[in-house]
Amino acid sequence: MTDMQTIRAFVDGRFLPASDTLPIYDPGTGEEIARLAECTADDVDLAIIGAQAAFDAGWRRTSAAQRADLLNAFADTIARHRDELAAIESRDTGKPLRQAYVDADFAARYFRYYANTVEALLGDVIPASTDRLTFTMREPFGVTGHIIPWNYPLGLGTRTIAPSLAAGNCCVLKPAEDASMSCVRLAELAIEAGFPAGVLNVVTGRGATVGAALSGHPGIRRVSFTGSVPVGIAVAQAAAQNLVPADLELGGKSANVVFADADLDVAAPAIAQSILQNAGQTCSAGSRLLVDERVHDELLARLVTIFEGTTVGVGLDDPGIGPLISARQRDRVLGYIETGRGEADLVIGGGVPEGVPAGGYFVAPTIFDGVADDATIAREEIFGPVLTVGSFRDEEGAIAAANSSQYGLVAGVWTADAGRALRMVRDLQVGQVLVNTFSNGVELPFSGRKRSGYGLEKGFEALRAFTQTKAAVVMMQGS
């Protein structure tokens, strides 16, 4: 993938001609580095036709063991191309190279995990009667559509296609127009790993045309979407016209809740990382800090020190944080910062850092303190390196503040009290509660509450989600 080449859609084992293209910009410099094929609805048709043909031609009949072998081969192929994929991801998204390596490793890990679990996807025998055998079996849907955002193309792409492929479906993946390069390369590598042509397809271009055509296509039997709430609603509505189920992983405003007995030596760096990772462009970012007023000042001081020591620069130079994905996103985040100046106390950051390329899309790591639960910067997803800080006096106040959000993806809880930790797990209205950590693995199911969406990703639950249950009754003749 050299500079200024055209990144084309990969459909049915080949690259499609590009009738029109969009510019691809380096977020660190603002320079155009390549062109991206802008697919049409006809291209989406070709992808779905190719996927259905591959499904009917034999993919649907592959055994779990055969698919496991291919998934492991894909993981091996990704691992062999780790350096290449990380470099593509870093330049395309602007994220630091070390984070891009983590994404490449997670991509391989997703395929490895589902290779190791797919043979445990079992039906049930139901003891309904002695003269008949009643049982269920799990079957693939057919062709599944996957629409992902620009913040983690490798990570989110593999997170959703790996369980679908493992379950026996064929996939059409639509990455965001701001970051598609690694997903196209991934589709190429699937062929290298031994997947039949048409099993994994990637269509590129604008969401308003390509994403809309994919989510509303009658040939798609299940849709997976990760992105904003308004687009998620539109995707669900389009899928519903065909009576197709949709999994929606949408916005987040995740809280880290820190009690006075927390180990701040452990909590402070993890909390900082939870908002600075990928320059805050993470749906589950720990963008809200709720801290017991007794340790508020100490924790805030520690965070300021960490933020002050965080370098900002071009992703391939491997700084602490890189740029945002686009000028549009940078301006959006800076707009929220201006709003925050009128709602709370700006502690650090608040603008464009010094010493970065003038054309890049950079925002300095930023902390606001004294943020009320109903403040705009506390309620709305900023999607940048901006941390809001509020305080509480007791456990009830902490729960009320954390649950005041319209979102419900993840919450972090920091305490040495096991009973309190379990009460927080019980009472927080989120899909994941992480106690004394803010990290998780591929094994832990990921789901939202409220405006964070519905459906399940990751873990064994995702494998089940990409199958349908068929029930059967067989009479025992002569019994």
| Neighbouring residues of 251: CB distance < 8 A, sequence distance ≥ 6 | 228, 229, 283, 381, 407, 409, 451, 452
Q: Which amino acid is at 465?
A: A
The residue ranges of DSSP E strands in 26-103, in sequence order, are 32-37
pLDDT at 479: 55
Give the SS3 label for residue 342: coil
Does residue 133 contact residue 473 with C-beta atoms inside 8 Å? yes
Sheet arrangement for strand 467-475: 125-126, 132-140, 467-475
CATH topology of domain 6-250+452-470: Aldehyde Dehydrogenase; Chain A, domain 1 (3.40.605)
Domain 255-445 is classified in which CATH homologous superfamily? Answer: Aldehyde Dehydrogenase; Chain A, domain 2 (3.40.309.10)
- Write down the residue that tokens 């402070």 correspond to: 268
Count Cβ atoms below 10 Å from residue 113 Cβ, excluding itself: 24
pLDDT at 4: 63
pLDDT at 285: 97
Angstrom distances, CA of residue 85 to CA of 97, 99, 107, 299, 447: 10, 12, 10, 37, 27
Does residue 415 contact residue 399 with C-beta atoms inside 8 Å? no
CA dihedral 257, 261, 265, 269 (to 10 degrees): 0
Q: Sketch the domain layout of the chain as residue ranges.
A: 6-250+452-470, 255-445
- The pair of three-digit structure tokens given for residue 297, joined into one six-digit string: 């000042």
pLDDT at 149: 97
pLDDT digits (tens, 9 = 90+) for 255-278: 999 999 999 999 999 999 999 999
- The pair of three-digit structure tokens given for residue 413, joined into one six-digit string: 């809880």
* Active site residue ranges: 249, 283
Please choose, from the candidates 404, 381, 403, 401, the residue with its C-alpha nearest in 3D space to the C-alpha of residue 391.
Answer: 401
pTM as predicted: 0.96
What are the residue ranges in the chain where pLDDT is below 50?
A: 1-3
Sign (positive or negative) of CA dihedral 213, 236, 462, 156: positive
Please choose, from the candidates 234, 192, 222, 230, the residue with its C-alpha nearest in 3D space to the C-alpha of residue 79.
Answer: 192
